[in-house]
Amino acid sequence: MPVSRLKRFLDDNHVRYITISHSPAFTAQGIAASAHVKGKELAKTVMVKIDGKMAMAVLPAPYKIDFDLLKRAVGSSRVELASEEEFRSRFPECEVGAMPPFGNLYEMDVFVTESLAEDAEIAFNAGSHTELVRLDFEDFNRLVHPRILRFSVHHE
C-alpha cells in the first residue's frame, strides 16, 4: 500500500491526520469533487526541474504554476515541468501523479505557493489515485520545511 510509508512517518512524528478513500480520480479537481474536499484545500504536487534539479511545487487544485513567477521566486535561471519518465523511478511505491508533497521523504526541495499556506488544513494524494490524507498545514510545514513563495495563479 503506497500510503504506508507516509503514515509511518506521520505516526512517528505524532501528527493527527485522517485518510479519505474515494473513487479513482486522476485530476486534482476530479479528486476534490470525488472526495468532497474544497479545491483550494486540495494540494496537488507538480514535479518541476529547477536548474536541472528535481523539486516539488505544491499548490491548490484550482491553481496553475506561473513558471516565470517561480523562476524569480527561487532565483533560478531555468524552471520547467518534469516529465513522468524523469521522476517515476523516484517514487517506486506511488502511482504516477499521486505523489504526496513530502519531498523530505524523497530527498528533494518542496515549494508551496502562498495561497495554500493560508488554509488551516490541507489534503493531498497519499501515493494512490484513491486515497487522500488530510492534516493541519502547521504540521505539514513543521515536518517538510517547504519554502513558501508566490508562484501560482488561479486557473479559470
Q: Is the pLDDT of residue 1 over 50?
A: no
Domains of the chain (ranges plus CATH)? 3-154 (3.90.960.10)
**Would you state the pLDDT for residue 41?**
84
CB-based contact 41:121 (threshold 8 Å) = yes
Q: Annotate 94-130 with b (16+ C-beta within 10 A) or e (fewer).
A: bbebbbbbbbeebebbbbbbebbbebebbbbbbbbbb
pLDDT tens column, 106-126: 999 999 999 999 989 999 999
pLDDT tens column, 45-90: 999 999 999 999 999 999 999 999 999 999 999 999 999 999 999 9
Contacts of residue 87, defined as CB under 8 A and 6 or more positions apart, other chains included, come to 47, 54, 99
Residue 57, number of CB atoms within 10 A of its CB: 27
Identify the sign of the CA torsion 128, 41, 141, 145: positive
